[in-house]
Amino acid sequence: MREPFESFSSDLLSLASAPFVTPLAEEIAADVLARFLRYIRIDTQSNVASSMYPSTAKQLILSRMLVEELREIGLEDAHLTEHGYVFATLPGSVAEPVVGLLAHVDTSTECSGEGVSPILHESYRGEVIVLPGDLSQVIDPADTPELAARVGHDIVTSDGTTLLGADDKAGVAEIMAAVAWLARHPEIAHAPVRIGFTVDEEVARGTVHFDLDEFGAALAYTLDGSGFGVLEYESFSAKEVTITIQGRGTHPGTAKGKLVSSLKLAADLVAALPRDGLSPETTEGREGFVHPSRFSGTAEETTLVFIVRDHDDAKLDEHVALLRRLADDVVAREPRARVQFDVEFQYPNMGQSIEQHPRVVAAAVEAYRRIGVEAVFEPIRGGTDGSRLSAAGLPTPNLFTGGQDYHSLREWASVQDMAAAAAMIVELVQVWAEPEL
Ligand SMILES: [Zn+2]
């Protein structure tokens, strides 16, 4: 265990002798880390219950800081849009295509992001990391192979009482450091870059007001992935099903033969779901699921909300059909009950749109290759800002950031992996200024 980061901030630039993937990654590492530590200290948690946009005003504290820093870098058009997005342009040595780089400033609602106190575990030796603010928060390399593989790296964690915020401030810091490096190196040929820092991604409203024309990119990448080398261009397709069961409430003392409890009917419906599959807790990879996310009601009326997910649209519809059968069964068994069944489309699998633009993925694969990494394709078990943007016509795969174990108190990130991601971004915008591969 090491001291809280403040106590050895003077050592910031003397990172351990850990492996960097390229000389550029080594050169850029200190800037990525300094920015990352600056950004994670600002609480930017979004709030699903809020009706404001962005859902919390505190996100704008970081957004405004990013505008200032972008202007200092020399991106004179950096500004906050009326909905709180940061947009800025780094002109290129060629006129097109304009490459978008996106990350979100907000953090997950699952853990507090207030008062983040980062700890730098320099030159990690492979030990169990016990977080000092809450000794029950332990990162054990025995069950975290990604950590076991990072002996020699400099690892950043929180003190265990908050999340770290690498999701997605690692992405923000990497884009900022890459753009700053490119601005300092006008001799490097690269495509024009459009930077976009969004809000409210964690509450699934990240692109509600995102104006594609105003952004003006032909293609984009979110820096919002996780493990080193992973490249994601397929997401879940997502629907939400709301089942409202109407029973008959009566005074329980005189209810014989009259009461129809919608709560019990709803419980039967949930109990009828498969136990050995089709749930988040029993599936992985490309397996979809049906997940009861909210259950609320009285004897009179109960509302069940399910999220339904699959990478395959036909299977997604089968999962919805299963819920419809279970809802029909409720009325078949209890004709006095009434059931309403509503399906809301949430987001499409972005693979359908991105596959029409193969060069967008090929360029990323090439950028990964230039930092010495073979891209690993993984389907996202969720959505990103890129899911909706891709469907709206801006093909937007998701690139790795080096952050790990997101949305938890044990979230951690490797400085070397974050530096690799920043170096990869510098390579990527150069690839786009070259003749087609
Ligand atoms: Zn994220």
What residues does each domain of the chain span?
A: 5-234+350-431, 237-346
> What does the block give as tokens for 351?
């693979």
pLDDT score, position 5: 39
In order, the DSSP letters of 51-113 are -SSSS-TTHHHHHHHHHHHHHHHT-TT-EE-TTS-EEEEE--SSS-PPEEEEEE--B-SSS--
CB 237 within 8 A of CB 259: no
CB 190 within 8 A of CB 328: no
Torsion sign over Cα 100, 53, 205, 420:
positive
How many angstroms separate the CA atoms of 398 and 415, rounded? 20
> pLDDT tens, 74-123?
999 999 999 999 999 999 999 999 999 999 999 999 899 999 999 999 99
Q: 217 C-alpha vs ligand 1 centroid, how far in Å?
A: 21
pTM above 0.75, yes or no: yes
Is the pLDDT at 13 greater than 80? The verdict is: no
- Other residues' Cβ atoms within 10 Å of the Cβ of residue 229: 21
Is the pLDDT at 186 greater than 80? The verdict is: yes
Q: 5 C-alpha vs ligand 1 centroid, how far in Å?
A: 24
- Other residues' Cβ atoms within 10 Å of the Cβ of residue 63: 23
Question: Helix 166-184 crosses helix 59-73 at what angle (to 10 degrees)?
Answer: 10
CA distances to 126, 155, 310 from 11, in Å = 21, 14, 47
How many angstroms separate the CA atoms of 230 and 399, rounded? 7
pLDDT score, position 14: 44
- What is the CA angle 150-155-159, rounded to 5? 140
Q: Which residues are catalytic?
A: 106, 201
pLDDT score, position 18: 60
> What does the block give as tokens for 249?
């409430």
Asked if omega into 397 is within 30° of 0 (cis), the reply is no
Whose CA is closest to 62, among 155, 165, 140, 141? 165
Q: 255 C-alpha vs ligand 1 centroid, how far in Å?
A: 50
| Tokens 């990013």 belong to residue | 66
Mean predicted confidence (pLDDT) in 11-26 = 70
Mean predicted confidence (pLDDT) in 36-60 = 96
pLDDT score, position 347: 86
For the chain, how big is the Rg over CA atoms in Å? 24
Of all residues in the chain, the percent with pLDDT exceeding 70 is 96
Helices (H) and strands (E) in the chain, counts: 11, 18
Q: Report, at the CATH architecture level, how domain 5-234+350-431 is classified.
A: 3-Layer(aba) Sandwich (3.40)
What is residue 423's DSSP assignment? Answer: H
CATH topology of domain 237-346: Alpha-Beta Plaits (3.30.70)
> What does the block give as tokens for 421?
């991601």
Q: 97 C-alpha vs ligand 1 centroid, how far in Å?
A: 26
| Tokens 């790296």 belong to residue | 153
Q: 390 C-alpha vs ligand 1 centroid, how far in Å?
A: 16
How many angstroms separate the CA atoms of 186 and 163, rounded? 37
Is the pLDDT at 6 greater than 80? The verdict is: no
Whose CA is closest to 157, among 42, 17, 40? 40
In order, the DSSP letters of 178-223 are HHHHHHH-TTS----EEEEEES-GGGT-TTTT--HHHH--SEEEEE
DSSP H helices, 292-357, are 313-333, 351-354
Of all residues in the chain, the percent with pLDDT exceeding 90 is 91
Is the pLDDT at 135 greater than 50? The verdict is: yes
